[in-house]
A and B are shown apart, each in its own frame.
Chain A
Amino acid sequence: MDTWTFGWTLALIGMGGTMLILWILSLLILLIRKIFPYQTDKAAVKKG
């Protein structure tokens, strides 16, 4: 693989791959938030 093919391949795969992984990670965060929602305040509201 010549230098420029290497450079452009790495750049395109790298940027595309990173965007994809970060997008999946943001979905994962939303999933974690759904599974473990914030509850302390809700409990306080119920008591109040």
Chain B
Amino acid sequence: MESALVSGLQGLLLGVSNLGPGQVIMLVIASTLLYLGIKKGYEPLLLVPIGFGAILVNIPLADMMGKEGFLRFFYDAGVLTEVFPLLIFIGIGAMTDFQPLLENPKIILLGAAGQFGIFLTLLLALALGFEKLDAVAVAIIGACDGPTAIYVSSKFAPHMLGAVSVAAYSYMSLVPLIQPPIMRALTSEKERQIVMGVAKREPISKTTKIVFPIVVTIFASILAPKGAPLIGTVMLGNLMRESGVVDRLKNAAENEITNIVTLLLGLCIGATMDSADPRPGIYRHQLGYRGGGAFRQAHVRDDGRQD
């Protein structure tokens, strides 16, 4: 009787005795993400599931990312196969109105501005000592585009998925804080008070709106076949929107599919923040991203060499 009681109590303490310092640190980081999402309102749709996923994966002995863990199931099925970001892209396409672009095609060149961010970040990441493919994954953060950052990371550097996603979404949520002082520095008060008129443009036919996603899919996919899943899913969503004949599918893509996938994707991203992950450097990578460049430069790999 006494021994059964002791053994039972030992069982209760098993989790506590297996709780390492790495897990404690990651639990604190996960709680910080939850705080930022819930209290500060920074990208709560992403940060809440990511933070909670990070908590779940760092519970000792729960083995959520183990061979039969439930997070492993969703990670393998949705992230490794790149299906989750692609499903989100269908939703993005269904929510996007390309009318202003079709009215004034020159503004498409503004999209090129995003590229400067990508390649500047790429060069910065290489300068900080990231491996080539890791730097490519980091670079997409510079485009301020969460789903693409997730897609590229899952393709080229899946071990950095959590860190890249959190960095990308944190950066995006900080834009309202970063942008105003830059705008104030670059413009005078008089310039900021200019009221821009609405330019009258030639109206766009419904056929143009329907043909546009089809033509872009074919054109862009032939030029860059590896990007076909990305452009194809966005344009599929947009075709559903503009055709007007599949409202149920469009509504599902905009709401149910995007919401469910966002939840599962967030949990899976959080699940990559496992302190016990055996892959070299991942834990430090995660800390490094959040700590910024200074932290990153002090990064020492598991084998002891500076990288």
- CB-defined contacts of A7 to chain B, threshold 8 Å: 122-123, 126, 135
B102 at the A interface (CB under 8 A):
yes
Chain A 13-46 interface mask (CB, 8 Å, partner B; 1/0): 0110011011111111110110111111100000
Question: Nearest-CB distance from B205 to chain A (Å)?
Answer: 4
- CB-defined contacts of A27 to chain B, threshold 8 Å: 105
Per a CB cutoff under 8 Å, which of B108, B123, B205, B212 touches A11?
B123
Number of A-B contacts (CB under 8 A): 79
In the assembled complex, the Cα of A22 lies from the Cα of B135 at a distance in Å of 24
In the assembled complex, the Cα of A40 lies from the Cα of B206 at a distance in Å of 10
**Contact between A15 and B126 (Cβ–Cβ < 8 Å)?**
no
- CB-defined contacts of B108 to chain A, threshold 8 Å: 22, 25-26, 29
Interface residues on B, range: 20 to 34
Question: Nearest-CB distance from B52 to chain A (Å)?
Answer: 36
Interface residues on A, range: 20 to 34
- CB-defined contacts of B208 to chain A, threshold 8 Å: 32-33, 36, 38
**Contact between A3 and B215 (Cβ–Cβ < 8 Å)?**
no
In the assembled complex, the Cα of A11 lies from the Cα of B135 at a distance in Å of 12
In the assembled complex, the Cα of A42 lies from the Cα of B112 at a distance in Å of 36
- CB-defined contacts of A21 to chain B, threshold 8 Å: 220, 223
**Contact between A23 and B205 (Cβ–Cβ < 8 Å)?**
no
Per a CB cutoff under 8 Å, which of A11, A18, A29 touches B105?
A29
In the assembled complex, the Cα of A20 lies from the Cα of B122 at a distance in Å of 20
**Contact between B111 and A22 (Cβ–Cβ < 8 Å)?**
yes
Chain B 46-66 interface mask (CB, 8 Å, partner A; 1/0): 000000000000000000000
B216 at the A interface (CB under 8 A):
yes
Question: Nearest-CB distance from A16 to chain B (Å)?
Answer: 9
- CB-defined contacts of A30 to chain B, threshold 8 Å: 105
- CB-defined contacts of B123 to chain A, threshold 8 Å: 7-8, 11
- CB-defined contacts of A4 to chain B, threshold 8 Å: 126
Per a CB cutoff under 8 Å, which of B106, B118, B212 touches A14?
B118
**Contact between B126 and A33 (Cβ–Cβ < 8 Å)?**
no
In the assembled complex, the Cα of A4 lies from the Cα of B123 at a distance in Å of 8
Question: Nearest-CB distance from B244 to chain A (Å)?
Answer: 15
Chain B 109-138 interface mask (CB, 8 Å, partner A; 1/0): 101100110110011001000001001100
- List 14 extra interface pairs beyond A25-B105, A35-B211, CB under 8 A: A6-B132, A8-B123, A21-B220, A25-B216, A25-B220, A27-B105, A28-B219, A29-B105, A29-B108, A29-B212, A32-B212, A37-B205, A38-B202, A38-B208
Residues of B within 8 A of A (CB): 101-102, 105-106, 108-109, 111-112, 115-116, 118-119, 122-123, 126, 132, 135-136, 202-205, 207-208, 211-212, 215-216, 219-220, 223
Residues of A within 8 A of B (CB): 3-4, 6-8, 10-11, 14-15, 18-19, 21-30, 32-33, 35-41
Q: List 8 A-B contacts (CB under 8 A).
A: A14-B118, A15-B116, A21-B220, A22-B108, A22-B109, A24-B219, A28-B215, A39-B205
